Amino acid sequence: MDLLNGIAWSKGCYMGQEITARMHYRALVKRRLVPVAATTPLPAPGTPIEQNGVEVGTLRSSQDHLGLAMLKTGLPTAPLLCAGHTLTPRPPAWLAEALQPPVSSNSTPD
């Protein structure tokens, strides 16, 4: 919701304010809900998603060849596997940048 300006940062108190503000100001969002697609019907929700043998998320919902997956941010471009099915992330333009790994500054002091 923060990427779509769905959170008012100037509003007063609300439920979850501390966690929401911490994620915003410290940029600690570690997982995001991402649309995914496959060439075959997807397995049941709750199925783990792996990349290079490491669990990187969970399938949350699916209908035929499309689904929603809770994935770690900053994943490399290696294939995602879910119960033998190859998944292709299909994030909308406004979400794609937030999924990229943070840019580290390797500048040397003068």
Q: Is the torsion defined by CA of 17, 93, 60, 75 positive or negative?
A: negative
Provide the pLDDT for residue 41: 93
Report pLDDT for 106: 52
Residues 55-62 have a mean pLDDT of: 95
- Looking at per-residue pLDDT, the higher value among 39 and 13 belongs to 39
- pLDDT at res. 25: 72
Radius of gyration of the chain (CA): 17
Single pTM value for the model: 0.69
29-39 residue pLDDT tens: 788 899 999 99
In a domain, 85, yes or no: yes
- How many structural domains comprise the chain? 1
C-beta of residue 3 within 8 angstroms of C-beta of residue 94 = yes
Domain assignment of residue 58, given as a range: 30-98
Any idea what the CATH number is for the domain that residue 58 is in?
Answer: 2.40.30.110
Closest CA to 31 of 91, 103, 98, 89: 98
Judge residue 107's burial from the number of C-beta atoms within 10 Å of its C-beta, 0-12 exposed, 13-18 middle, 19 or more buried: exposed
Select the highest-mean-pLDDT range: 14-23, 51-60, 68-77. Answer: 51-60
